[in-house]
Structure formats: structure tokens, C-alpha cells
Amino acid sequence: MERKLRKILVDALSGLGIPADNIEIEVPKDALHGDFSTPVAMILSKQLKKSPKIIAEDIRSKISGSDSFESIEIAGPGFINFRFSKKFIVLQMKELISGGDSFIAENIGRGKRVQIEFVSANPTGPMHLGHGRGAAVGAALSNMLNAAGYSVEKEFYVNDAGRQVKLLGESVFARYKELLGVSYPLPEDGYRGDYVGDVAKELKNEYGEQFKSIDFDKASEAVIDFAYNRMLDAIKKDLADFGVHFDTWQSEKELYSLNKVQQALEDLRGKGFVFDNEGAVWFKSTEFGDDKDRVVVKNNGDYTYFAPDIAYHRDKILRGFDELIDIWGADHHGYVPRMQAVIQALGHPKDSLKVILVQMVSLLKAGQPVQMSKRAGEFITLREVIDDIGPDTTKFLFLTRRSDSHLEVDIEVAKAQSSENPVYYVQYAHARINSIFAKAKEEAGLSAEAFSEFDGELLNDEELVLVKKLLLYPMVFKNAVLAREPHRITYYLQELAGMFHPYYHRHKVVTDDAELTKARLALCVAVKIVLKHGLEMLGVAAPQKM
RNA sequence: GCGCCUGUAGCUCAGUUGGAUAGAGCAACUGCCUUCUAAGCAGUGGGCCAGGGGUUCGAAUCCCUUCAGGCGCGCCA
């Protein structure tokens, strides 16, 4: 619907000899102002040195005559307000029904290759809620970009090198020794959760008493590998149960073994962005707007964590992606400038890396905050929440807010299968439509999937309002994709469900009037198409029955 | 001290990238199941958009500033 209007406006403006790019089209808050509105006349006013009303009048005279509109009004300081004709709306509705997903999703990606990296939880323990939120956002974004014609690859970066996995290995090793009756100190910043002991038991099952009398240094490689792989398996299982799937898993260790870290630094040195100073090797990130230059090789010869990150992002670019999306915890926001500096140093525009920051999730239980102590290894895991309230509810709740705003989840509310829980509200609308279809088949012998002909004139005003809401979805979807914001879809779905439920209560779909029944069934088909598409984007099930 | 994010109804949050009279859910109160599912519906109240200044036809939205909260500022990961 918005696409049509846009085209009409562009044509009208070029007919007037006005170059038109990026015409603003918006949905007025007040229905009295029509279905769509554009402030374009006011914006052009200064440039054309004409009053907005005159410009608006010129535009209107170019367009009038089209039977797509019931009215075109000029109002306020120079808004042009459009109200579509019933004929046009019904025509669009038929296109939605016959076209389905292809009607909804414009191909704005045009095959552009996007890599989206998310979760990337350290394989040193179970995932927490923040990881879950990142997973939900990443998966939803991937679905959206895919549907919008991008070629998307989802990747999990495995931090299997460095201090953290070593600490995990040593923590497990200490517990393992304990199991064998040998006293061994837990490392200073070691991991203390119960799962460490579980992995130690598995280590014992696998290796027996093989490491009983040797030091960690001698056994470290095998133990570390064993330990983080166990954790990675657990993470993979949690993600699978959460319904989030990755295309590729990139190992940090591999970047070292394939010499890519060194290559990356040499490459940047060749470009003049890596230099030596005070015994260390530095990346000149200030060249690209960072606060200070960053050390990549310490004066003791060790790489900083930043070095493999550089190599990783360089590798992604070399793999030929047009755009990179990283989803990080918001506490890492300080790293955005230096990472974007890397991208630029490698000769790519700053915005070819988009970093989406995901804020913390705080957990409440019946209104009371649940305390989480990471030090004691006590925190609510994603696994517990999924087991408690199910993957669909969890995902939906994670996608109800802008990702960079704090999120509170009350576990008691989420568990309640009631109106407090927005997931069910949306899913219920979908299931409800399915019930109607069953009824239609049983009583009227009408198969909702089978018919495409119906008399749109039979739709009443209330139904047209609902149809218009449906026809807005392609625009909502497009804007959500462009802004990379899944929550816009979540909101839209709640609004749509909030219109369908009341409609359901006021009007019976399946009646003795065969023609009216068909028209209303068509409306239900259309609502269902949109609900299903939206829920699919969010990675949430669209149940036939509840 | 510097930087980033946040501040909108009692609570949790949207607000179409600067548009017209500010929105939803929850909570509170009142009603509705002989019906295609009550996981639903109908109705009622609720606001100095943190404060101040500016930019312009027009600001919750952009700029400056103050206040409050969160996070980040290592040759830690």
C-alpha cells in the first residue's frame, strides 16, 4: 500500500519537474487525517520558495483522477492526506492473499551478503539470559534479512583460545584431582559453578587416573580441550532447544593455527596502521576516531585479546561479506570505536560493520528481583528459563523491547498462561483463525486455502480498517529490516491481534450467508498470513491449536 | 575526570528516524461464557515526555546545559 503511494507521489513530483528522492510517508496517528499522509509539500516549500499549500495543490492536481483514492485532502500547515478507495484496498487485499510472503517482503537486500555474528558465549559455563536475548535478536534479525532478500550467514565465534578456557580447564582439573583424593588448589579467578564438578566427573570417566600425579601444565592441552568442548556441547544443545541455529562456528584457536592473527597485523603494518612503541606493538585506532591507540602485542610478546578480534574481522571481510553485524552485550560498547577503526583501516566504510548492543536482562520473581552472584557461580541460566516458560515465550519477551534498553522479565508472569502474557495473545489469534477455518469446513464446506474469489464489497467499514492494518505490514516489516529492529514486528503483531480479537467477538465469520462467509474467511486468511509471517520472523511458533 | 546509553501514565515500555490533539500492555474499578476457543471481549480513570535554554513552519525526537541512574575508559579477557 505504501509502495503504491510512493510510486504515485514520485511520478507526480517528476511530472512537476521536481526531483524526488526519499519522500516521507507516514501513517497519521489520527484516522481523521486519512490512511497516509505526507509532509512533502512543507519540506519542499523552502527549496521551491512557494507556500506549502500551493505545492500541495499542484501535487494533488497531478494525482486526482486515480481511482485508488477516495479522497486527497490538504490540511493543517500543508499535509497531504490520502484516503484509499475501497476498491483499491480490496485489490491490495487480494494481492496479499495470492502473493503471501512475496507480497509482504520487498527485495531490499538484492542478494547483499550479510554475516551476523551473535551469542559467541565463552565456552566456560552455561549461557545466561543476556546470551539468550542476543540469540533471540540475532536469530530474528537473520530471519528478517533473509526474508528481505539478503543472503545471510549466522556465525558463532568460539573463544577457545586464551585465558578463560585455560582457567576453566584448570578449575576442572582441580575438581578432578579432588575426586581422586588429591588436594589441588582452585585457581585464583577459577570457575566455581556446580557444572565444573560435573565436567570433572566426565573427565575422570574419560581419562581415569591418567592425570592423577601430574601437574596441570603437563596435561593442560588435553584437559582444556576436553573441558571447553563439553561446555560448547552444552551451549549447542541449549541453543538447539531454544530454536536458534548457526551456519558456522568459527574457532579463535584456528585463527592462530592458520597464522591469521599474524597476517592481519602484518597487513595493517603494511598499510601503516600498526607500529612499535615502548616494546609493544600498537594499532593506530586514533586515525579513525578512537580515543587512544591500542596495544595488540604486549612487550612480553603475548597478543592482547584485541589481536585475534582484528584477525577475525579481517577474515570475515576477506570471506566477501558486504556487511557485518556483531551483536554484543552492552557492557562492551567501549569496543565499538576500535573495531570500526579496524574495519576502516582495512579499507572499508565504517558502517559496513554494524554493532548491535544488547542490554542486560534482569530477572524478577513475582515482582522481586532475583539476585545473581556470578562470583559464587549462582545465576539463573537460559536453560532454566527455557525449561520453565518455554522457548517461544522466552524469545517473544526478549523481542518486545528495543535491544539497547534494559529488560525486566518476571518469571511468574511469564509462566502465567494469562492475558498478562503477550505471547499467547498473538498466538491465540492465529490459533483462533484456525478454529474458524475448521468450523467453515465442517459447516459450510468451505476450505479457506482453496478459494480466492470473494466479493470485497461485502466487507464493512470495521473490516476495512483491519485490512488496512494488514496492508501496513509490508512497510512495518521493511522499516524493521532497515533499522535492524525486530521489536517493531513484535509490537505490530500485538496491535494486529488487538484488532482481530475484538472483531472476532463482534462478528461471526461462518454464517448462513455464503457470500459474506467467503468474504470474511478471506479476511481471516489475510490476517493469518501476516500473523504467521511475523511470528516466523521472531522465531516463535504459530500454533494451529492452543 | 572523559566517553557511551537511559530518563515518556502507579509499573514495564512503544512512539513510524523532525509531523497534526501523546500510545500500548499490566496493575485498579465495572460488566460479558447456551456462541467459530473467556489464553478472549466491552467500559472507566491515569501525563510538566527528568529540569532549563536553543534550532524551525513544527521537537518526546536534533543541539547546548543541569540533574538522576547504568555501563565503559588496562601492555585484563
Q: Per CA to C1' distance, which residue is closest to B27?
A: A420
Protein CB footprint (7 Å) on chain B nucleotides: 2-7, 12-17, 19-27, 35-37, 39-42, 57-58, 70-77
Listed residue (A29, A43, A19) closest to A81, CA to CA: A29
CB of A535 under 7 A from strand B?
A: no
Looking at residue A507, its amino acid is H
**Residues 6+ away with beta carbon under 8 Å from A214:** none
CB of A189 under 7 A from strand B?
A: no
d(Cα A367, Cα A408) in Å, to the nearest integer? 10
Q: pLDDT truncated to tens, each residue of chain A (546 aa)?
A: 889 999 999 889 988 888 777 788 999 888 888 999 999 998 888 778 888 889 999 999 988 888 999 999 998 888 999 999 999 999 999 999 999 999 999 999 999 999 999 999 999 999 988 999 999 999 999 999 999 999 999 999 999 998 999 999 999 999 999 999 999 999 888 898 899 999 999 999 999 999 999 999 999 999 999 999 999 999 999 999 999 999 999 999 999 999 999 999 999 999 999 999 999 999 999 999 888 899 999 999 999 999 999 999 999 999 999 999 999 998 899 899 999 999 999 999 988 999 999 988 888 877 777 766 555 555 788 999 899 888 999 999 999 999 988 888 888 777 765 556 789 999 999 999 999 999 999 888 888 766 678 999 999 988 999 999 999 999 999 999 999 999 999 999 999 999 999 999 999 999 989 899 999 999 999 999 999 999 999 999 999 998
Per-residue CB contacts under 7 A with strand B, chain A residues 293-332: 294-295, 298-300, 302, 304-305, 330-332
Inter-helix orientation angle A487-506/A461-483, to 10°: 170
Do the beta carbons of residue A321 and residue A348 sit within 8 Å?
A: no
Nucleotide nearest to A279 (CA to C1'): B75
CB of A446 under 7 A from strand B?
A: no
Nucleotide nearest to A300 (CA to C1'): B75
Per-residue CB contacts under 7 A with strand B, chain A residues 506-525: 506-510
Report CA(A224)–C1'(B7) in Å, whole number.
45
Nucleotide nearest to A165 (CA to C1'): B77
CB of A374 under 7 A from strand B?
A: no
CB of A125 under 7 A from strand B?
A: no
Q: What is the ipTM of this complex?
A: 0.94
Q: Per CA to C1' distance, which residue is closest to B57?
A: A77
Helix H or strand E segment including A101: helix A101-104
Reduced to 3 states, what is the DSSP secondary structure of residue A299? Answer: coil
Report CA(A400)–C1'(B54) in Å, whole number.
35
Listed residue (A116, A327, A326, A139) closest to A243, CA to CA: A139
Do the beta carbons of residue A451 and residue A535 sit within 8 Å?
A: no
Place of cell 560448547: A232
Q: Which domains does chain A have, with CATH numbers?
A: 2-84 (3.30.1360.70), 113-158+245-358 (3.40.50.620), 163-242 (no CATH), 419-538 (1.10.730.10)
Give the 3-state DSSP-derived string for A408-458, with helices as H, strands as E and coil as C: EEEHHHHHCCCCCCHHHHHHHHHHHHHHHHHHHHHHHCCCCCCCCCCCHHH
Calculate the dihedral angle through the C-alpha atoms of A185, A187, A193, A194, rounding to the nearest 10 degrees.
Answer: -30
Do the beta carbons of residue A167 and residue A377 sit within 8 Å?
A: no
d(Cα A358, Cα A407) in Å, to the nearest integer? 10
Listed residue (A162, A122, A158, A159) closest to A304, CA to CA: A162
